[in-house]
Chain A
């Protein structure tokens, strides 16, 4: 790491806590951001000289708060507060700031900061952009690159989102247990949006997008450290880790998606898998199931299988059935049908998806999966019909090409 390379991670790590506390203090997002920015500039000046503070978050909160108050005082020609240089042997002053902000405050501060990005009036892309800007502190150009849009368009998007949450107002009272649980659920959903933007968004997994996955994982880890006994947060973090562990195997040299069965499992990230599996073990102990835990458990079944043939499809079928109960959706049933076809044959899978025909008639994957099941049963004419429907509904050239390969297989002369 370069000479001053330690400062950036130190500031990044402290940011959610420091921004959260400054937001509570000033009750205004712009003032909090300016105060934090000011504190960072002073940190860049002060830390190389005096070494890292014992508690960077507390340092940034105190200096940011003083700087913002100072700015107001200067405007009203009052006496200014002491410069942070005079506070630079921060032992005592920092200690005082830490005791003033106990763990519980920090916890709700970070949750509030993340929660304001989840305002239900904001479309998901704005929630993601806002979280990356104010929670993660990514620069606007970097966020714009991740979303494949121009900088000024992204700037406008973020400004509009901020105006919306400012108009809506933010609750600063310490939340009660029910409200805290609701906030956690909303924040979990938002963090998974950030992750998915990196995982599946248009344009594939470029570095700018892949780093969104890393960032979502980092923020979810912070959330779990603040709320260590929440099984669904454990499940969410496990789910992200187990999915992201496959990143290196998910695309071939040409950038095409490689399906799970065909991935080179030696490319899977074993460290992420180990952390994901450890988190699932922890979550299971709580015996309160939830959609993130179940999805993580499904991902874990794949992670545990050394080859595609080792996959325990019967167990995956049961997990999908549990997920259907938690969050009924025809798409989940369709996923379950794939597990059923592997465990019990294509006939059973076709029976399972027959009732979905009407609701999923415009869904690419429905016709693709149905064509596959029919092909396995040798019902080639029906399979061809299904694949043709799928091609007409394909969202990307890659999807269409994938189905075309199946059609070619159907018309190949039998050996």
Chain B
């Protein structure tokens, strides 16, 4: 069975960690990652850059908004990992998807750390 595990925490707090605190948390997490990756059960995992680096495309009227998707009426239904030259190419991909499926929004959030996994 494939699951996506979505990580939530207080962003202001996590980005207030000192480098030492951040490294310590990552070291502990990596012990868990390695164990599950060796067992072939950990697929791609990643850490996102802060929401201040995010951009949101509102699909119904093609409006590009600064910041993360903030509405609470919709639910997270899926996500893509893309490797593009920058925001504009990312938006171009999002617009092609919009043509195929017009409802809701896409948030483009740059990735800070990417591990392809087992």
**Hey, which bits of chain A sit against chain B, CB under 8 A?**
1, 5-6, 9-10, 12-14, 56, 214, 218, 221-222, 224-225, 228-229, 234, 237, 271, 274-275, 277-279, 281-282, 285
Contacts and interface: CB of A to CB of B under 8 A. Distances in A.
6 contacts: A9-B14, A9-B21, A10-B10, A225-B50, A225-B51, A282-B66
Interface in B9-33: 10, 12-17, 19, 21, 24-25
A285 B49 contact: no
Contacts of B113: 271
A274 B53 CA distance: 10
B112 A12 contact: no
Contacts of A13: 10, 12-13, 15-16
B87 interface: yes
A275 B49 contact: yes
The 5 closest A-B pairs by CB, nearest first: A281-B87, A13-B12, A228-B67, A278-B110, A9-B16
Contacts of B52: 221, 224-225, 228, 237, 279
Nearest to A279: B53
B81 to A, nearest CB: 14
A14 B11 CA distance: 11
A228 B49 CA distance: 15
Interface residues of B, number: 28
Nearest to B28: A1
B92 interface: no
B110 to A, nearest CB: 4
A270 to B, nearest CB: 9
Contact of B110 (A9, A229, A274, A285): A274
B86 interface: yes
A282 B15 contact: no
Contacts of A214: 19
Given A222-B12, A225-B67, 9 more contacts: A9-B13, A10-B13, A13-B12, A13-B16, A214-B19, A228-B66, A234-B66, A274-B112, A285-B87
B16 A277 contact: no
A109 to B, nearest CB: 15
Nearest to B85: A281
A5 B50 CA distance: 22
Contact of A278 (B13, B16, B24, B53): B53
Given A1-B25, A274-B112, A221 B86 contact: no
Interface string B49-89: 11111010000000011110000000000000000001110
Contacts of B16: 9, 12-13, 218
B21 A282 contact: no
Contacts of B14: 9
B86 to A, nearest CB: 5
Contact of A281 (B10, B24, B86): B86
Given A9-B16, A13-B16, A14-B12, A275 B86 contact: no
Could you say which of B50, B66, B111 has the most chain A C-beta atoms within 10 Å of its C-beta? B66
Contacts of A218: 15-16
Nearest to B91: A285
A1 B24 contact: yes
A282 B53 CA distance: 8
B10 A275 contact: no
Contacts of A274: 49, 110-112
A277 B86 contact: yes
A56 B15 CA distance: 15
A275 B110 contact: yes
Contacts of A278: 49, 53, 86-87, 110
Contacts of A277: 86
B16 to A, nearest CB: 4
Could you say which of A228, A271, A278, A285 has the most chain B C-beta atoms within 10 Å of its C-beta? A278
